[in-house]
Amino acid sequence: MNKSILSHTLTYGKIVIGSVLYAAGFQFFTYPNSIITGGVTGIAMIINYLTALPVGVLSIVMNIPLFAVSWKRFGAHFMVSSFVGMMLCSVLVDVFSTVDFAATNQPLLAAIYGGIIKGFGLGIIYTTGATTGGVDIVAKFLRVKYQHINFGTIILLLDAVIIFAFALIFRRYDSAMYSIIFMFISSKVIDFVLYGAVNSKVCYVITDSSVEIKNAIVGELKRGVTFLHGEGAWSGKEKDIILCVIKSRQIVELKRIIKEIDAGSFLIVSDSREVFGNGFTYIGDDK
């Protein structure tokens, strides 16, 4: 099979699977418990509660103008795959609404498990480079004008406005609070699908015993080390700063090494979402 055809088949296969999970999480968990989901779907839910019009149809109607306006700006591949994702999610939401089933009538359980299922669905769709339209497209436009604001922050603010409006219109403040739990869990699951669990640490060691600590890291932890040349602002003394990336489970051993060699060292540790290279993920992997 042609590689291009296989690639497109896998891409749209993922979008189909993600859309099924998205619609199931929505229709069988959040919607029956009045948990607002944010985005265009959240607006559609509000209109649905007021008019009984189908959520999926309303989502499509609101999304089409957004796609029409942004078609040329964001490229054909992104827009086509996102349009397919939006249509599938919206249609499946209405199809699943014909099934008289609710997984639970407990709002907290619905928020937790609905967030997990919908998060997995969206995460799978996002791995293809597509979205489900809605606030993602609005956020892209706003990001062009307000480049100092993080993309995720824009989406969070837009979703917060929708949840606040829902709470005021229907006086369902409890549902709004459950919605926040749902959105938090969903965002964490999306990050997990996209980036995996955080299992690597980026470490900076500022020490006067850089060579000894370097030798111990290479010899005992079997990890590579890079020297960054620095200068103490107070002392004016030049020194080598050790940069290394290690597995999370190795942080205890690194602390022991530093303590034994130079307890006066300065150690900075931060999480790393993705690490490509020898000993970690092969840089050719396309996730």
- Residues 186 and 236 placed together within one structural domain of the fold: no
Tens digit of each residue's pLDDT (9 = 90 or more) over 164-188: 899 999 888 999 999 999 988 988 8
- 80: in domain: yes
Dist. CA 186–CA 34, nearest whole Å = 16
Closest CA to 124 of 26, 9, 16: 16
- Residues 126 and 50 placed together within one structural domain of the fold: yes
pLDDT of residue 20: 95
- Residues 62 and 138 placed together within one structural domain of the fold: yes
pLDDT of residue 191: 78
pLDDT of residue 199: 67
Contact 99, 26 (CB under 8 A): no
- 278: in domain: no
- Residues 154 and 216 placed together within one structural domain of the fold: no
pLDDT of residue 287: 47
Whether the full predicted model's pTM is greater than 0.75, yes or no, is: no
Instruction: Tell me which DSSP letter residue 75 carries.
Output: -
Residue 251 CB: number of other CB atoms within 10 A?
14
Answer with the one of 161, 195, 229 that is the final residue of a domain: 195
Answer with the one of 170, 195, 220 that is the final residue of a domain: 195
pLDDT of residue 72: 73
- 277: in domain: no
Cα-Cα-Cα-Cα torsion 163, 140, 197, 27, nearest 10 degrees, comes to 40
- Residues 78 and 183 placed together within one structural domain of the fold: yes
Tens digit of each residue's pLDDT (9 = 90 or more) over 103-117: 999 999 999 999 999
Question: Domain with 256 in it: what CATH number?
Answer: 3.30.70.120
Dist. CA 39–CA 84, nearest whole Å = 17
Segments forming the whole domain that contains residue 54:
3-195
Tens digit of pLDDT at every position of the chain (287 positions): 566 778 778 888 999 999 999 999 999 999 999 998 888 889 999 999 999 899 999 999 998 888 887 777 777 777 888 888 889 999 999 999 999 889 999 999 999 999 999 999 988 988 887 778 887 777 777 766 776 665 556 777 888 888 989 999 988 899 999 999 998 898 888 878 876 666 678 999 998 888 899 999 998 888 888 888 887 777 777 888 899 888 877 888 889 899 999 888 889 988 776 666 555 555 455 44
Please state the length of the chain.
Answer: 287
* Count of structural domains within the chain: 2
- 214: in domain: yes
pLDDT of residue 141: 73
- Residues 32 and 52 placed together within one structural domain of the fold: yes
Structural tokens at position 272: 């790393």
Answer with the one of 133, 163, 195 that is the final residue of a domain: 195
Tens digit of each residue's pLDDT (9 = 90 or more) over 237-268: 788 889 988 887 788 888 989 999 988 888 99
Collapsing DSSP states into helix, strand and coil, what is residue 215? helix
